[in-house]
Amino acid sequence: MPSAPQAASIWSGTDRRATAPVLTELAFLHQLATELLASPNLDEAEATLLRRVREATGATTAALLSVHHSRLRCRLEALDPTPAGGMPAEREMHLDTPPLSLYLTQAVPTILEPGTPRLPWMPGTRAPGACLSAPLRRQGKAIGFLVIELPGDADPYAARALLGTAALAAVLGLEAVRREAREEFLAMVRHDIFNPITVALFHTEMLAETLEGRNDKEMADLAHSVHSCLNAVCDMVSTFCYLEAIDQGAPAIHPEPIDFVELVTDIVDAHRPTATARPLQLVFEGSCPELRADRRQLGRVVANLVSNALKYPPGPGLVQVNLSHDAGGAVLTVSDTGAGLSPADLERLFTKHARFHRHLDIPGTGLGLYLSKAIVEAHGGRIDAESTVGKGSTFRVRIPFA
């Protein structure tokens, strides 16, 4: 099987067998993806990508661009060969600027017509060959581009096929490298933030108990308020630390046998001080056989539902948590007597950043239910909700035994 550096010469030959192009692309895809996944960091992965693209296509210059749709900007991430003076100081362009505006209209690798404006970072020559671009697409949307310039005697059609293959490998390989780097960063954040918050939570709880023992209700209430705020910060940081799960829509789970009754009991008990302060009646009852699930992730779902149920009901009120089961799996129901939701609100309930009843000034990120849905579905289950304005809401989670 030919290696990646031999690809261009195979494609430019005149006596091609029918299977040679396919084999060449597969070999190139395999080799490039393997090297990208083995890269120690993102910079090295990007450099490897462009180097291999130049070798395979015979390009004089190769560039990697990222697209930021929210800012309507495109950024130069890497260039090969690197200019003698280093990377350009100005590395961004507006998406409406040619040729970026043309790149965005192409869903497949494209050979640009002669006379098409070139990127300012691509040096070109006095007698340049073809310029090609290939979109890096994820979920049907361009997240970047690979752009190459060829010498005048190169075959642009052969290069186009290999450039498309490189774009596919880039989406898969670079995303994996980014995900690993982000997980390392989030692990550091979790450690550096949760450790002091955990200590602070413990100390404020002790302080509140001490003040209650001294019958200092005013200061005890303040200590409980600080404790509640720290819990809210902890929940918010925890949610943002799982951005990978949110972005991908299906977090990784590690199932193990768990006592679901014990898990729900612990979470409900942890929220009783909040319920008492509202004041709300928080009730839990039910039973369930041993369940195979990710305890930490499923606990996030239960905690989010109970926390949400306690946010909205004006005291006095009731939050009812029930756990049952049938032949297929466990069923968790969380009901409240809160403000309720309209049919229009229910339609976007589990979408990212969905917020409701903003006039009540209730803190939150709008990510909890979105993430909860992803976790439940990753377990093969489902989550749904019923609600009536002014009467309250009921959330129902089903997790299968198998």
Q: How confident is the model at residue 84, as a pLDDT?
A: 79
Q: How confident is the model at residue 283, as a pLDDT?
A: 95
185 has a pLDDT exceeding 70: no
| CB-CB contact of 294 with 259 (8 Å) | no
2 has a pLDDT exceeding 80: no
- Of 336, 367, 363, 365, give the one whose Cα is nearest residue 229: 363
Which stretches of 110-171 are assigned E, i.e. beta strand? Answer: 110-111, 131-138, 141-149
Exposure letters 70-92 (e unless 16+ CB within 10 A, then b): eeebbebbbbbeeeeeeeeeebe
Q: CB-based contacts of 335: which residues, under 8 Å, 6+ apart? A: 309, 318, 319, 320, 321, 322, 392, 393, 394, 395
Higher pLDDT, 232 or 263: 263
Q: How confident is the model at residue 201, as a pLDDT?
A: 81
124-128, 196-200, 236-240: which is most confident: 196-200
pTM for the structure as a whole: 0.48
pLDDT in tens, 303-340: 889 988 888 777 788 999 999 999 899 999 999 998 88
Which stretches of 255-374 are assigned E, i.e. beta strand? Answer: 256-258, 280-286, 291-293, 317-325, 329-336
Q: What is the pLDDT averaged over residues 154-181?
A: 82
Q: How far apart are CA 72 and CA 395, in angstroms?
A: 39
Counting residues of the chain whose pLDDT is more than 70, the rounded percentage is 80
183 has a pLDDT exceeding 60: yes
Q: How confident is the model at residue 184, as a pLDDT?
A: 64
The mean of the pLDDT values for the chain is 80
Ranges 68-82, 142-156, 163-177: which has the least confidence:
163-177
263 has a pLDDT exceeding 60: yes
Higher pLDDT, 147 or 196: 147
Domains with residue ranges and CATH for the chain: 4-180 (3.30.450.40), 250-400 (3.30.565.10)
**17 falls in which pLDDT band (50, 70, 90)?**
very low
Q: How confident is the model at residue 13, as a pLDDT?
A: 41
